[in-house]
Every structure is written in C-alpha cells, then in structure tokens.
Homo-oligomer: A and B are copies of this chain.
Amino acid sequence: MEKLRTPKNIFVQGPISPIKIANSIANHATKTDIGGHSIFLGQVRADEKDGGTVRAIAYTAYEEMALQKAFEIREAVFSKYPLTCMHIYHSLGEVKTGEICLFVFTSSKHRKAAMQACEELVERIKAELPIWGKELVDNDTSVWKENT
C-alpha cells in the first residue's frame, strides 16, 4: 500500500473533507498488522482580528520545494519509527473557518510509534514546509499568518 522512496503529492485543492478522511481510514482495514492509527487534523479558526473575524484562510505554497521537503521529512520519520503507513495532506486555496486544512495520518503495529510520529510530522510540517496562509477577514482585509 505504502512504498518508501516515492515522492507523493500532499496538496489538495480546497478543504479536506471528512469523507476523504473516512475513506483513508477504511483503506487500512486490509492492513491487519496495524494496531493503532494516529490522526491530526488542522481546522481553520474564526480568530478575531482588528475590525473583523477570520472567515477563511487562503493557502499558497512553493510547491516543488514543499514536496521535496515533505519527502525528506517522510523518509526521516519512516526511518526513525516502525511505521506501517504515513499520509500527509495539506490544502491549497481557500479553506473556510470550521473546515480542515491539514490531515496527518500514521499507522503502526503498536500505538506509541504512530502517536509519536504523528506529532513529530505535524511539528515539522508547520516549521519546514514552504506554505503560507493568508487569513481573510470578514471586513475584506487580510493578515498573513506566521507559525510560532
């Protein structure tokens, strides 16, 4: 199902639907050596800004570099933890508040590897992938996000 050393696209146009997540989970029912899945989902918040409320985030990326980096991160995490599967999806374009913009999914025989790998992936994705989110405020202004 999963092969190492094959760069894969992580980008999804628009939000990531709960159905996509359900299908991704269901696809692992045939992998009967898996005992635990860990999933992280990033959801767009309706934060308050000067003069308005965030209604969506518009994501752009330096796609070639992001895919190259995602591949490096993927390889590093696969070699650090005994994982069966790993999936990363990130939105591009507009994602409204309440919608999902990031989906990280790890699976392993025992739970610890999946949980630790998922957390490490989320941190590295946020810190290392050249992706930018522009918060669109409901008074027609916008604010570039910055990960801390």
Contacts and interface: CB of A to CB of B under 8 A. Distances in A.
Interface in A93-148: 97-100, 107, 109, 111, 114-115, 118-119, 122
Interface stretch (A6-14, A31-39, A68-76): A31-39
Given A19-B22, A21-B25, A119-B115, A36 B32 contact: no
B100 A25 contact: yes
* This chain's copy number in the assembly: 2
Given A18-B23, A23-B18, A40 B100 contact: no
Contacts of A111: 40, 42, 122
Contact of A42 (B22, B36, B42, B122): B36
A22 B29 CA distance: 16
Q: Which of A25, A30, A122 has the most CB of B within 10 A?
A: A25
A28 B43 contact: yes
A35 B22 CA distance: 20
B18 A32 contact: no
A41 to B, nearest CB: 4
Given A18-B26, A31-B98, A40 B43 contact: no
